[in-house]
Structure 1
């Protein structure tokens, strides 16, 4: 297995993404390490907010939200998951597991910003972030979850099964056009190219192809028991927990009900189903999502 680094020139013309690069070394296990990239904007002493992206995007997805959150008074931290964005990319699909991704993101968190933080999570950012909340609830002041869930078996939707099969078998797995199809706001050619930028060839897409098969949506899959064990710790989380889901997202629409009904901190909040809003909600509703984070951080006393 090789650890790939996407050539820097692939990111030379990224639109509306003026953020400085930050790097940290992550222990991947098996004697391997990788360099993880992250955005770090705002005053380093300001209250932190963590922005966790999903599959197959990267921190570019948050380019519209980052300035709003910085202006509100946050230190904004948006990592590129291992295998995505500017971060290094193991080229073996079988190397990626749910548990490893959780561990790698925990390493990043503990080294970069160990203070209690607000969390915004979408897609796999929620599958990872909500596990982290369950494991260390004191490290999170509030949560805003969008188009995500924490599955522990069951029966997957036809839409998800189609996506999983496409990621596994499609010979033409183009990331940029995929993002464009999953938003309500049409992306420009430059934005589509920005989502393609991290993936110059097939080996660099190993994580992107691996992720859908790692979602524990069926009984017996790896991760089911870990998520079952996480729920008794996540359910009592009584700090503000807001859901803002997309009305036009066929993958996760309706999943917010399970979060609202089970998580203590979700009770009595103004949960919304946003429209127009596809799966990659950050493209469609950046201002509303950012305001949700600001409101929850103020409610939690993290932000004044």
Structure 2
């Protein structure tokens, strides 16, 4: 297994990202995470990014939630951000990402977690929450879901999947900018490119789109189906806050609201003017909703 580690100087003076790096070992790989806010007796807010981003995505949300008195943990998935990057594509699977994330949560012994998830952060986070219910207190999801392959993917997703597998150079920052309503400044686009000095660092980003279950025979379909059986009995608070300008996940919020009991009577929100990367378009607004959601649903 060939492991790459992005040089630290690639992360110096990134705009809006002053956070001190923290690391934990997950199966012999170094996983990076942001850890902000009080650490003693504070409830944990776990912010999970997706494809092809990293914890930089949550940079405007982390301070809002930390100032409200919560411990904010924002990891970089293996293959992204400051975390180690395995070169061989076969190492990455849906199950392996679930396993890495589970090891991470156990290593830090995170409890009373409020899960904040978007994109692959939800595909992984919802699985992990369903499989480790005792560690999670509530969930808020944006522009995400938990596919089992029983429903055909959207045309927008299939176009993205095809693009990701055929483009000679995967333009990470350009992809993130294209998923936003608001135009990203050049220095922010560069920050999304920072973890990837060249194409050899982008294996995880390349592989992720292929791992989304698109048929019932997909390797992850059965495990996701089992997670859904748990989520259909989930009584803990569940809030959706989807952007109204995201063609990839449009309508997934209604599915979550209808099938998860804990979503009943919650103040679900459509964030007007929010694209797929809602953290860029409506980050502080979503952060305020998260704080209110926790305060209104204290255990």
Please say whether Structure 1 and Structure 2 have the same fold, judged by a TM-score greater than 0.5: yes
How many residues align structurally? 297
Task: Provide, for residues 173-203 of structure 1, a one-character-per-residue CA deviation record: whole Å limited to 9, x for no partner.
Answer: 1100111111112111110000000111111
What is residue 76 of structure 1 aligned with on the other side? 72
CA–CA distance in structure 1, aligned partners of residues 140 and 170 of structure 2: 30
Give yes or no for contact 2:87–2:200 (8 Å, CA) kept in 1. Answer: yes
Q: Which of residues 245, 249, 252 is equivalent to 2:249?
A: 252
Structure 1 residue 137 displacement after superposition: 1.6
Deviation at 1:257, TM superposition (A): 1.0
Alignment of 1:14-25 (within 5 A): 14-25=14-25
Q: Does 1:226 align with 2:218?
A: no
Deviation of the 1:169 alpha carbon: 1.0
Deviates more, 1:170-179 or 1:74-83: 170-179
**What corresponds to 1:30 in structure 2?**
none
Deviation at 1:293, TM superposition (A): 1.4
Unaligned residue ranges in structure 2 (runs of 5+)? none
In structure 2, what is the equivalent of residue 117 of structure 1? 113
Matches within 5 A, 1:37-56: 37-45=32-40, 46-56=42-52
The CA distance in 1 between the partners of 2:283 and 2:32, in whole Å, is: 22
Note if contact 2:46-2:72 (Cα within 8 Å) is conserved in structure 1.
yes
> What CA distance in whole angstroms lies between the structure 1 residues aligned with 2:288 and 2:8?
33
Contact 1:49 1:120 in 2 (8 A): yes
Conserved in 1, the CA contact under 8 Å of 2:129 and 2:136?
yes
Structure 1 residue 295 and structure 2 residue 292: aligned? yes
After TM superposition, the structure 1 stretch with the greater mean CA deviation from structure 2, 268-277 or 199-208, is 268-277
- For the residues of structure 2 that align with 1:138 and 1:288, how far apart are their CA atoms? 29
**Paired residue for 2:61?**
65
Q: Is residue 204 of structure 2 the alignment partner of residue 202 of structure 1?
A: no
Q: Is the 8 A contact 2:44 2:110 kept in 1?
A: no
1:78-157, aligned counterparts within 5 Å?
Answer: 78-153=74-149, 154-157=151-154
- Report the alpha carbon displacement of residue 259 of structure 1 after superposing the two structures with TM: 0.5
Larger deviation: 64-73 or 107-116?
107-116
Partner of 2:9: 9
Report the counterpart of residue 172 of structure 1 in structure 2.
Answer: 169
**1:19-44: CA deviation from partner (whole Å, max 9, x where unpaired):** 001001110xxxxx210100000111
Conserved 8 A contact 2:169-2:199? no
TM-score, normalised to structure 2's length?
A: 0.97
Q: Does the 8 A contact of 1:241 with 1:296 survive in 2?
A: no
Distance 1:128 1:56 in 2: 14
What's the CA shift string for 1:130-176, capped at 9, x where partnerless? 00111122211111000000011121111100111111111121100
Unaligned runs of 5+ in 1: 28-32
The structural deviation recorded for 1:222 is 1.3
RMSD: 1.0
Deviations, residues 36-73 of structure 1 (Å, cap 9, x unaligned): 10000011112111000000000000000001001111
Structure 2 CA distance for aligned equivalents of residues 125 and 4 of structure 1: 22
Asked if structure 2 preserves the Cα contact closer than 8 Å seen for 1:143 and 1:293, the reply is no
Equivalence map 1:29-40=2 (5 Å): 33-40=28-35
What secondary structure is seen at the aligned counterpart in 2 of 1:184?
coil
For 1:113 and 1:273, how far apart are their aligned partners in 2? 33
After TM superposition, the score normalised by the length of structure 1 is 0.96
